[in-house]
């Protein structure tokens, strides 16, 4: 796959000497031990590591859903450690998109309405939100399912709606935690390729955690976690 010209690109996400520890009984469990990671604009990175090594923790910290015990997380040049909860929420809403293994769609709303929701929360008009949601559904090749609720969609269709919802507010960073882990291999391949194409078409930067090395090879580079550190593969 063509990765584009090799030009200098600014950093959209930086994690510097990040530590995260949890207490289990009388012992401390160290998940990240001074981890460093940089994501450049327009870059796609696969995070490939065994379960239990800290992939989800790294993504939670990168998405400002958790605070590190030490170190620094920088989004688009803004250090996020000392920010208020309101400011962190605003960054998550406008700068970061999330995709999880399970789609977490709102069951009472249609596919179109699920994608409209984050846009409406951010203040976009109903008409504009509907237009963008419709465009995203068409791009993900499920425009004909716009009026269907999640229970009426297949697993692959649900996840494509979730991906469209994650990018509805045009974030600069997309974080995906095993986005195809709940799908059969054929559907997983199709959804992953659709996600990769959408990311590249929109100029997003993405970190995608996956167990699938074949799918990971589609992205610009691969990293793993070992001893609480991010290691290039």
Residue 157 lies in a domain: yes
**CATH code at position 108:** 3.40.50.300
pLDDT value of position 203:
85
Residue 90 lies in a domain: yes
Structural domain including 178 reads 43-67+86-232
Residue 191 lies in a domain: yes
- Note the pLDDT tens digit of each residue in 70-90: 999 999 999 998 899 999 999
Please, are residues 184 and 30 in contact by the beta-carbon 8 Å criterion?
Answer: no
Residue 204 lies in a domain: yes
- Note the pLDDT tens digit of each residue in 133-156: 999 999 888 999 999 999 999 999
Residue 22 lies in a domain: no
Residue 113 lies in a domain: yes
pTM comes to 0.89
- Read off the pLDDT of each residue in 192-200 and give the average, rounded to a whole number: 84
Q: How many domains does the chain have?
A: 1
Residue 12 lies in a domain: no
pLDDT value of position 3:
45
Residue 125 lies in a domain: yes
């Amino acid at each position: 796959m063509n990765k584009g010209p090799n030009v200098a690109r600014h950093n959209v996400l930086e994690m510097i000497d990040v530590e995260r520890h949890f207490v289990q009984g009388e012992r401390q469990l160290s998940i990240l031990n001074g981890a460093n990671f940089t994501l450049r604009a327009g870059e796609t990175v696969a995070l490939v590591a065994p379960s239990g090594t800290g992939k989800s923790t790294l993504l939670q910290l990168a998405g400002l859903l958790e605070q590190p015990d030490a170190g620094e997380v920088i989004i688009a040049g803004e250090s996020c450690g000392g920010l208020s909860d309101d400011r962190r929420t605003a960054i998550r809403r406008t700068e970061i998109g999330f995709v999880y293994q399970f789609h977490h769609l709102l069951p009472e709303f249609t596919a179109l309405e699920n994608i409209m929701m984050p846009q409406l929360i951010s203040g976009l008009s109903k008409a504009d939100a509907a237009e963008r949601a419709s465009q995203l559904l068409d791009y993900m090749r499920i425009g004909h399912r716009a009026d269907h609720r999640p229970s009426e969609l297949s697993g692959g269709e649900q996840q494509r709606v979730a991906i469209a919802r994650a990018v509805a507010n045009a974030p600069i960073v997309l974080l995906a935690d095993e986005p195809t882990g709940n799908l059969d291999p054929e559907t997983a391949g199709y959804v992953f390729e659709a996600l990769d194409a959408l990311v590249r078409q929109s100029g997003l930067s993405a970190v995608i955690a996956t167990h699938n090395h074949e799918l990971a090879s589609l992205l610009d580079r691969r990293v793993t976690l070992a001893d609480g550190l991010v290691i290039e593969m």
